[in-house]
A = this chain, B = another copy of it.
Amino acid sequence: MLNIRTDLALEAKEMCEDENKKIDGVKVEENLINGIKVTNVKITEDVGERIMGKPKGSYITIDIPEFTHYNGELRDELSRVLGKELKHIINSIVKIDKSMTAMVVGLGNWNITPDSLGPKVVSKLMITRHLKQLIPDKIDERIRPVCAISPGVLGLTGIETSEIISGIVGKIKPNIIICIDSLASRKVDRVNSTIQISDTGISPGSGVQNRRMELSEKALGVPVIALGVPTVVDAATMASDTIDLVLNEMIAKSKSGGEFYNILKSLDREEKRKLILEVLNPYSQNTMVTPKDVDIIIESIAKILSTGINIALQPELNAKEINAFLD
C-alpha cells in the first residue's frame, strides 16, 4: 500500500475517533486564548499509545487563523500564545533560569522550500550562549543562554542527523532541546495552519521526507520538545483521500445491499493503489501539494515560531528588548 500517514496527533485522533466516542487512554482539552484555538491531546496510557500510533505525552495544537500570514498583528498575537504554551511545557520539565542552556535544532533541507522551516527558524533566534561564556560581564544578566544548529539532512551531509545532534549534545550538554520540523499533513486545509508542540521529541518516519532519526530524551539523554508545522500534503495522500471522499459520497446515496456494494467491494486496496498511480504516474511519488506562495508563507511561519521561542526562552525580556537584540 502507499504510505499514508500523519505527523499530527490531532489528525490521528480524528482518524481514530468513531462518532464522537472517546479514545481510551487519551484526554482532549480545548481552549480559546485571545480568539486562537489551542487543543491539548494527552496520550496518558499504553492503550492510547497503541491506538494513536504515537508515544505517550502531550500534543498541543495551536490553530493559525486564516490570513495570519498576511497580517503582522495577528502574527504577533500568535507568537505570544505560542511563547506562553512553550514556556509552560518547558517549565514542566526544567526551570528556565540562569544555569539552564537551551539548544534549538532546525531540522530539514534548506534547498526544498516547504522543508526549510527548521533552518529558517534557527536563523531568526536570539543566540546568546557564546556571549554568556565569552563576555558575561557585558551582557544583560537577565538573558538566558541559547544555542542552535541546523544539521541538514542525510542526503546533504552523509551523516545521520541523530549522530550530529548526539555528538554536539555530548560536548555542550544542554538542559533542554527544542526541535523544529516541517511536517506532512493528511488534509490540505491543515497545511500551514497548525502548530504542534509536543514533549515527546521526534520519532523516525516523521517530517516532510520521512526522516529516519529519533530525537528524544531516550535517544539523547536530554528532554526534547518538538515543534512542528505541516507544510505539505503528499500528493498520494490527497489522491487517496479524494477517492475515499467520492466513495463515501456514493455509499451515502446508495441503498445498502444493492449493485453498488458489489462494485465497491471490487474496488479494493490494490485497485485504489492503481488509481492513485494513474493520477500521479509511477515516477512521481515525490510529488507534493503546496500553496503557490509557499516561499512567503514559510517565511511568515518561521517568524511566528522564532518569536514564540524567543519569548519562551527569554522570559525576563520584553518584546522590545528581544527585537533590539535581533535587528
Contact = CB atoms under 8 A, between A and B. Distances in A.
Contacts of A302: none
B286 A293 contact: yes
Nearest to A239: B242
Question: What class of interface size applies to chain A in its complex with B?
Answer: 35 or more
Interface in A18-74: 66, 69-73
Contacts of A292: 112, 114-115, 208-209, 232, 286-288
Interface string A147-159: 1111110111111
Interface string A259-291: 110010011000100010011110110111111
A243 interface: yes
Given A158-B128, A159-B130, A287-B292, A170 B167 contact: yes
A1 interface: no
State the main secondary structure of chain A at its contact with B. Answer: helix
Interface in A189-239: 189, 191, 208-209, 232, 235, 238-239
A187 B284 CA distance: 11
B284 A291 contact: yes
A326 B202 CA distance: 30
A13 to B, nearest CB: 19
A283 to B, nearest CB: 6
Contacts of A127: 155-158
B149 A152 contact: yes
Contact of A288 (B69, B148, B250, B290): B290
Interface string A65-90: 01001111101000000000000000
The 9 nearest A-B residue pairs measured at CB: A189-B281, A147-B158, A167-B167, A129-B158, A167-B171, A127-B158, A167-B168, A242-B242, A72-B327
Interface of A: 66, 69-73, 75, 111-115, 123, 127-131, 145-152, 154-160, 163-164, 166-172, 187-189, 191, 208-209, 232, 235, 238-239, 241-243, 245-247, 249-250, 253-255, 258-260, 263, 266-267, 271, 275, 278-281, 283-284, 286-296, 300, 320, 323-324, 327
Given A147-B157, A150-B152, A286-B293, 14 more contacts: A70-B327, A72-B324, A123-B156, A129-B158, A145-B158, A146-B158, A148-B158, A188-B279, A238-B238, A238-B289, A242-B246, A246-B275, A259-B260, A287-B289
